[in-house]
Structure 1
Amino acid sequence: GFQTFDVWSFIGIAAYSSILWLSALKAMIKASEELLKDRAYAEKLKEIYDEAKSNLEKLLWNGEYFDLWYDPISGKRDKACMAAQLIGQWYASVLTDIGYAIDKEKVVKTLRSIAKYNIIEDEGLINGVYPNEKRPAYEGDLVYPNDTGLPYSVGCQMDTPWSGVEYAVASHMIHEGLVEEGMKILREIHERYMKGGHYWNHIEWGAHYMRPMSSWSVIVAIEGLLYDGIRGKLKVRPRLRKESFKWIFTLPGVWGNIEHKVIDKTLHLIITLDKGAFNVREVVVERLGTVGEVKVSIDGAVVQVKETKELDESVVVTLSEEVKVNRRLEVIVTYV
C-alpha cells in the first residue's frame, strides 16, 4: 500500500502499515467508547482489531521482530528487520496514551532486535537490515533476498538512515526503558551531522523533510510526559536523572519548565508556566515505595486530593475537581 517508503516495495501484508492500522483501530475503539458513547460500534471495531492482531502475529512474528512483509498469494516473504516497523505503536505509546496495540513483550523484544540489527556504528539506524546478509553499502548493487528479483541498490531507502525515523525509534526505546539504546541512536545522529554539515536540514530522501521534527518526541519520551486534555490527566515519569531533573515543558499552546526531584523519599514535581494554561484533574507520577502523604498546590493554593491510587509502577493522584493551572503546579508525594 501507499506509505512514506515510496521506493521500497512491500507486498501483501506488511508490518509497518499493519501496526499503524492496529493502533488506529485502538484509537477508534477508545473514541467510540469515551467520546461517542457507542459501545456497539466499539465492539464491532474490537472484533476487527482482535482478528487483525491475531493475523499479524501469526503471519509476521518471527520470535525476534515482525518480518517486513508476507504475501499470502505468492507465498513470498521478506525477512528484513525494519527500523520503523513499530511506528504505529510509537503513536499509541509515546505521543498518546492509547496503550499497546500489540503485546508489550513483543514491543520490547522488537526494539531490542532493532537495536541489535539496525544500529550500525558510524552510520546510524539503518531503515532495514537483513540479519547476516550482505548490504549494498558494502557490496554494491544487489537483489533483494525475497524472491522478487527487485534491485537492492546502493543508497536505496532500505539501506540508509533517516533521522526522522531514528528520532522516533530512539524516543520509543527510551519510553520503553531502553535508554542506553535510544541514546546511542541520538549520538549517531548528532555525530553524523556534526561531521557532514546540514545540522538543521537533515538529508533523508532529499532535503527539507519535515520527518526529522519527530525529534520533539525525544523530549516527551525522556520526560515520560503524556497529557489527556479531555480527562485533565497528566503523566510525568522521567527516564533520565529522575532524582534531579529539569527541562522544558510543552503542551498544545502551553510552555514553561518542569522540575522533578527526589529528596529523602519525597518526590517533588513542579511545573511552572510561561505561556498558556491547562486543566488538570489527575496527576500520575512514578511509584518509589508505599505512599505516605500527598500534597498538591495550584497557582499557590492548596488543592484537595480526592484519592491516591498505588499501581505497580505509578501513583495516580486524583483531585476533588478539575482545576486550571495558570502559573504553577506542585505535587509532593512522600513515601514511607
Structure 2
Amino acid sequence: TILKSPTLLRQTNGRIWGWEGNCDSFGCCPGSCTHVWNYAQSLPHLFPSLERSLRKTEFNENQNTEGHQTYRSNIPISETAHGLYATADGQLGGIMKVYREWRISGDTEWLKEFWPKVRASLDYSIRTWDPRHTGALEEPHHNTYDIEYWGPNGHCTSFYTGALHAAVKMGEALSDDVSEYEELLGKSLVYLEEKLFNGEYFFQQVMTGGLDAKFEPLDIDSYGIEYQAMAKEINAQGPKYQYGNGCLSDGVLGFWIAKVCGLDELMDSEKIASHLKAVHKYNFKEDLSDHAYPKRPSYAVGHEAGLLICSWPNGDKPIMPFIYSDEVWTGIEYQVASHLMMHGKVEEGLEIVRGCRDRYDGYTRNPFNEYECGHWYARAMSSYGLIQGLTGLRYDAVDKSLFIDSRIGDNFRAFLSTANGFGVAGLKAGKPFIEVRSGNIDIEHVYVSGVERKMN
C-alpha cells in the first residue's frame, strides 16, 4: 500500500523521491530521508532499479566532494546545499545499501561507478565521527531520533561496523586497497563487544570529554527559578536526549540492515541474540494501560500491545531522554521481529507482529495505513524483512546463488523477487526448489543453512 500511496513520487525521468509519510492534504517530512528509508526493504526487492535511483541521488546530488551527504533531497531532484549536519545512520546505511543493490542487480559496472563516492562518504564519516580511529562513533552524531548522540552506542556504531564491512567487500571485489577499513572494522567489533555490551544488551557510553566537539551545558540562569533544579540535574547527567544505559529496540539495527543487505554476521551472534531477547523482554508490552506518553499516544494505547522504542530496566532513565523513547513505531517493531526470527526466536518475533497487526484491525485503525509522522509511513516497509527472517530466502545475482535458512521447518514455499524475475522458492522435505513465474533467475549454487545443496 505504501508503494502505491502519495508517499512515493516518481519524476518524469523515472527517478524516485519520497516523503517520510503524508498528512491529510500534504506530504510530511520531505526528501527520501535516508535514516527513515534505511528500514524500507520492499522497494529494493520488488523494484530494484527504482531503489537504485535513490542511491544515485544520495551519492550524486546529495553528496559533495568532501563526502558530506545531505539526508534530504530536493524535489525536483537537484544538487542540495550542505549547511546542515549529516546523519550517521542515514549516511552509513547508504553504504550498506550500495552493497545490497550490487548483490541484487549483479551489476559490477554499476558498483565501479559508485565506488569512489562510497569511499568519499565513508572517509567523511571516519573523519567526522571517529577521528581518533577507535572503531566507534564518539563525536556527536545525528540520527533518526532527530537528536545528536554524544558518545559511542550500539545503535549507530553497528551501522559503522556494517558500513566498514560492506566497504571491505566492495573494495576487495574491485581490487582496491581497503586495509584501513579492515583495521577499523576489527576495532569496531572489539569496541562493541568489550565496551558497549553490558552482559545482556548493547548500550550507550555518554561522553562529553576528550572530544573535538565542545559540550555546552544548559545555562542555568537563563531558566526560571521553577526550572533551575531540573536544568542542574540535566547538566549533571550530561547532554539531554541520550539513552545511556537504556535497552534500545534499535540498539543493533545496523546488524539487521547488514544482514538483509547480504553481509555475513561478524559480531558474536550470541550477543546480538541476547540484545534482541532483552528488547522483547523489557520493551514489548502486552498491555499499555499503565504506560503514559502524552506526545503521540495514538500509535499504541490502552489495552493494546506494542514494542516501546526504549526502556531502562535498571531504573536509570535520564531525566530528559530522546523525545520518542516512549513511543511505538511499526517500522521498528517489524525490524526487531525479523531480527529475532533470524536468531531463532520465531515466536517472540510473531508476538510482536501480532501485537502490531491487532492494533491495525480495521476498526480502530486502517489496516492498510500504518502511520508514524504521517500516513503510509515509509519506515513500516521494514515488514518485507519478515520474509527473510522466517525463511532466510535471498538471491545473490553476483554469485548466482540462492540462500535458504528456514526458521519454519523443512516444508515451506515463499515469494521470491529478484532483479530479473520472480517466483516461489522454498523447501520440500528439506530439499530446495524454485518455481520461476516470470522472467529469469539464473542459479548456479544453492545454500541451505550454509551448506551447498542440489536443487530439487
Q: TM-score, normalised by structure 2?
A: 0.55
**Aligned ranges 1:3-18 → 2 under 5 Å:** 3-6=143-146, 10-18=149-157
Question: What residue is the counterpart of 1:322 in the other structure?
Answer: none
Task: Determine the C-alpha separation between the residues in 2 that align with 1:70 and 1:58.
Answer: 16
Question: What residue is the counterpart of 2:320 in the other structure?
Answer: 150
Task: Determine the C-alpha separation between the residues in 2 that align with 1:259 and 1:230.
Answer: 21
Which structure's residues are more often strand, by fraction?
Answer: 1
Task: Determine the C-alpha separation between the residues in 2 that align with 1:52 and 1:184.
Answer: 32
Q: Is the 8 A contact 1:15 1:69 kept in 2?
A: no
Partner letter of residue 143 of structure 2?
Q
Q: Is the 8 A contact 1:22 1:49 kept in 2?
A: yes
**Structure 1 position 218 matched with structure 2 position 386:** yes
Q: Is the 8 A contact 1:248 1:256 kept in 2?
A: yes
Could you tell me how far 1:229 is from its partner in structure 2? 1.1
Task: Determine the C-alpha separation between the residues in 2 that align with 1:118 and 1:98.
Answer: 27
What secondary structure, in the 3-state scheme, does the structure 2 residue paired with 1:273 have? Answer: strand
Q: Which runs of 5+ in 2 are unaligned?
A: 1-140, 210-214, 216-236, 287-303
Question: What residue is the counterpart of 2:263 in the other structure?
Answer: 98
**Structure 1 position 86 matched with structure 2 position 230:** no
Question: What residue is the counterpart of 1:37 in the other structure?
Answer: 175
Question: What residue is the counterpart of 1:274 in the other structure?
Answer: 437
Partner letter of residue 20 of structure 1?
F
Partner letter of residue 114 of structure 1?
V
1:125-163, Cα deviation, whole Å (9 max, x unpaired): 111111154xxxxxxxxxx833xx5367xxx41111111
Task: Determine the C-alpha separation between the residues in 2 that align with 1:27 and 1:151.
Answer: 32
Question: What residue is the counterpart of 2:293 in the other structure?
Answer: none
After superposition, the Cα gap between the structure-2 partners of 1:55 and 1:243, relative to the gap in structure 1 and judged at 3 Å, is closer
Which structure's residues are more often helix, by fraction?
Answer: 2
1:182-240, Cα deviation, whole Å (9 max, x unpaired): 11111111111115212211122333310101111101221211222111111112211
Task: Determine the C-alpha separation between the residues in 1 that align with 2:451 and 2:317.
Answer: 49
What secondary structure, in the 3-state scheme, does the structure 2 residue paired with 1:256 have? Answer: strand
What secondary structure, in the 3-state scheme, does the structure 2 residue paired with 1:84 have? Answer: coil
Aligned with 1:109 (options 252, 274, 288): 274
Q: TM-score, normalised by structure 1?
A: 0.74
Partner letter of residue 198 of structure 2?
N
**Aligned ranges 1:275-314 → 2 under 5 Å:** 275-286=438-449, 314=450
Could you tell me how far 1:72 is from its partner in structure 2? 5.2
Could you tell me how far 1:259 is from its partner in structure 2? 3.8
**Aligned ranges 1:1-336 → 2 under 5 Å:** 1-6=141-146, 10-33=149-172, 35-38=173-176, 41-71=177-207, 73=209, 76=238, 78-93=244-259, 95-121=260-286, 122-133=304-315, 145-146=317-318, 149-150=319-320, 156-194=323-361, 196-240=364-408, 242-262=409-429, 267-286=430-449, 314-317=450-453, 331-332=455-456
Flag the structure with more relative contact order, 1 or 2, with Cα contacts below 8 A and sequence separation at least 6: 2
Task: Determine the C-alpha separation between the residues in 2 that align with 1:282 and 1:247.
Answer: 19
After superposition, the Cα gap between the structure-2 partners of 1:85 and 1:151, relative to the gap in structure 1 and judged at 3 Å, is closer
Question: What residue is the counterpart of 2:125 in the other structure?
Answer: none
Q: Aligned Cα RMSD in Å?
A: 2.2
What secondary structure, in the 3-state scheme, does the structure 2 residue paired with 1:78 have? Answer: coil
Task: Determine the C-alpha separation between the residues in 1 that align with 2:410 and 2:258.
Answer: 27
Could you tell me how far 1:272 is from its partner in structure 2? 0.9
After superposition, the Cα gap between the structure-2 partners of 1:151 and 1:282, relative to the gap in structure 1 and judged at 3 Å, is closer
Q: Is the 8 A contact 2:446 2:453 kept in 1?
A: yes
Question: What residue is the counterpart of 1:297 in the other structure?
Answer: none
After superposition, the Cα gap between the structure-2 partners of 1:259 and 1:59, relative to the gap in structure 1 and judged at 3 Å, is closer
Q: Is the 8 A contact 2:246 2:317 kept in 1?
A: no
How high is the sequence identity, in percent, across the aligned residues? 29
Partner letter of residue 431 of structure 2?
H
